[in-house]
């Protein structure tokens, strides 16, 4: 991260008459500082006609015409006018960079690469354009105005690159490798990052005289120094005509490459994977490259819902299976399995398949698969099915306390009545001292010889 700094060198109470100065454009055009553009144009056209050398033969007319033209050039341009209002005469000096005085901070922000433009034209524009402007064209507008001090240039770290990868739910459970195409800033292969043609050596920067800083005079009478935008504060520059033709003297280019990203099993949606040293190379110096940060987008599943390392699935079972018990096929992350559904299973009861959940991406045991049962009632019944259900209903009503006397229970006392309103039978619930290691008193474990999953009543 670089800090653009400026320094007030000294105050001067007066300007020497031999010092170059620029006249106040507002005074030249005779307009107020808050004058609208329409008034500025009106005054300019009037004065231009008055002092044009073709119509005014006075010896001072040409000089006045040049002043009027210069004043209009400043005030008719919104950016130049704002710079003059803030910095005064300094904004009209050759090579003035208003961004140099901003208290800017930060590295190269990874701005998009808009492609190579006419770098040769940038160099032909003169030394003041061949430095910072060329970096801005190559590496994005975020580079503009970023000053550099000589100290620490060799230790600068490159910027990180950010990309996104989308994967399926099952891929997130199993882990997967994905390729991503990136265009990081890299050393120019032609000049090996030097920015120069073979046999060329850097010379003292002509813009700052090798000091790495440039000084401007502002309206209040102060001098202000800022990092030289031509040499980026290094004090040296590539001589004209000595720039590498492939990188236009920058020494850096964007090179497209493919990186394989290893996505671990158990990764969650929104997690970021860091791939070291696959980011941008530093613009100057020989510091380390940045990293590649890959954000993972995990698609949702139609059959599973994730909660941490646990996953949930809703299994639909017919009414007779819920009443009488049976076996159903249940999907897992490793394929379908058969599970035993106990008779009398209620709507919303859950079966826990231990260790059938997601892997822990940072290490540890796998989560569990919670299977909740949704009982499907038939929409229509055959005559026989209706007769059987009616017989069942009649039997339940006959056995209810309202329909039987206390002494009528002389039948087989070992016969079990299936209560359709039951939640979980008492014998299904282990005592607090016999939780089978589940820590939940409303969870039961099937007999060891059957090796069945756990079943519990949903709590919400």
**Domain layout of the chain by residue ranges:** 23-92, 305-402+416-456
Write out the two tokens for 179. 């390729």
Domain 23-92 annotated CATH 1.10.390.10: no
CA distance 79 to 36: 15
**Percentages (nearest 5) of helix, strand, coil residues in the chain:** 25, 25, 55
For 434, list phi and psi in degrees, rounded to 5: -135, 65
CA distance 29 to 35: 11
CA distance 34 to 232: 36
CB within 8 A of 443, min separation 6: which ones? 352, 430, 435, 436, 454, 455, 456
> Which residues, given as ranges, of the chain have pLDDT below 50?
1-21, 100-138, 141-151, 403-460
Provide DSSP, 123-181.
HHT-TTTSSHHHHHHHH-GGGTT----STTGGGPPPPPEEEEEEE-HHHHHH-EEEEEE
CB within 8 A of 336, min separation 6: which ones? 329, 330
Cβ-contact 88, 24 below 8 angstroms: no
pLDDT at 366: 92
pLDDT at 152: 55
How do residues 191-206 score in pLDDT, each as one tens digit?
988 889 988 888 998 8
User: Of 136, 163, 123, which Cα lies nearest the Cα of 248?
Assistant: 123
Question: Alpha helix locations (H) across 11-118?
Answer: 25-29, 37-51, 61-75, 78-87
| Topology at the third CATH level for domain 305-402+416-456 | HSP40/DNAj peptide-binding domain (2.60.260)
CB burial of 53-75 (b: ≥16 within 10 Å; e: otherwise) equals: eeeeeeeebeebbebbeebbebb
DSSP conformational letter for 264: P
pLDDT at 171: 96
Write out the two tokens for 161. 């690159």
Half-sphere exposure of 335 (CA within 13 A, CB side): 0
């Amino acid at each position: 991260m670089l800090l653009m700094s400026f320094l007030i060198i000294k105050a001067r109470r007066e300007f020497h008459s031999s010092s170059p100065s620029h006249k106040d454009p507002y005074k030249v055009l005779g307009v107020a500082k808050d004058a609208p553009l329409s008034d500025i144009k009106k005054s300019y056209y009037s004065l231009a006609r008055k002092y044009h050398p073709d119509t005014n033969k006075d010896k001072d007319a040409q000089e006045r015409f040049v002043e009027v033209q210069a004043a209009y050039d400043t005030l008719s341009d919104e950016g130049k006018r704002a710079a003059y209002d803030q910095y005064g005469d300094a904004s009209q000096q050759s090579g003035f960079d208003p961004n140099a005085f901003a208290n800017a901070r930060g590295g190269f922000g990874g701005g998009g690469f808009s492609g190579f433009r006419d770098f040769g034209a940038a160099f032909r524009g003169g030394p003041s354009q061949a430095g910072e402007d060329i970096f801005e064209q190559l590496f994005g507008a975020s580079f503009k105005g970023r000053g550099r001090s000589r100290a620490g240039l060799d230790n600068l770290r490159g910027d990180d690159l950010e990309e996104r990868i989308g994967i399926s739910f099952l891929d997130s459970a199993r882990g997967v490798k994905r390729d991503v195409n990136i265009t990081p800033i890299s050393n120019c292969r032609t000049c090996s990052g030097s920015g120069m043609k073979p046999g060329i050596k850097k010379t003292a920067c002509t813009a700052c005289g090798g000091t790495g800083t440039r000084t401007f005079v502002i309206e209040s009478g102060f001098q202000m120094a800022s990092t030289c935008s031509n040499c980026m504060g290094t004090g040296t520059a590539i001589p004209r005509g000595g720039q590498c033709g492939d990188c236009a003297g920058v020494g850096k280019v964007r090179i497209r490459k493919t990186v394989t990203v290893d996505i671990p099993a158990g990764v969650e949606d929104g997690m970021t994977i860091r791939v070291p040293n696959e980011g941008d190379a530093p613009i100057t110096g020989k510091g380390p490259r940045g990293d590649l940060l890959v954000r993972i987008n995990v698609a949702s599943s139609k059959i599973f819902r994730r909660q941490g390392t646990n996953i949930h699935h809703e299994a639909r079972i017919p009414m007779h299976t819920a009443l009488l018990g049976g076996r159903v096929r249940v999907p897992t992350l490793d394929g379908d399995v058969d599970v035993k559904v106990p008779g009398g299973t209620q709507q919303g009861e859950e079966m826990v398949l231990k260790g059938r959940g997601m892997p822990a991406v940072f290490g540890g045991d796998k989560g569990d698969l919670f299977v909740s049962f949704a009982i499907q009632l038939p929409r229509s019944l055959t005559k026989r099915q209706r007769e059987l259900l009616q017989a069942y209903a009649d039997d339940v009503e006959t056995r209810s306390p309202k329909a039987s006397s206390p002494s009528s229970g002389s039948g087989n006392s070992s016969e079990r009545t299936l209560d359709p309103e039951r939640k979980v039978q008492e014998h299904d619930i282990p005592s607090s001292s016999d939780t089978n290691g589940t820590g939940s008193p409303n969870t039961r474990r099937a007999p060891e010889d059957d090796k069945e999953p756990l079943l519990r009543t949903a709590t919400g």
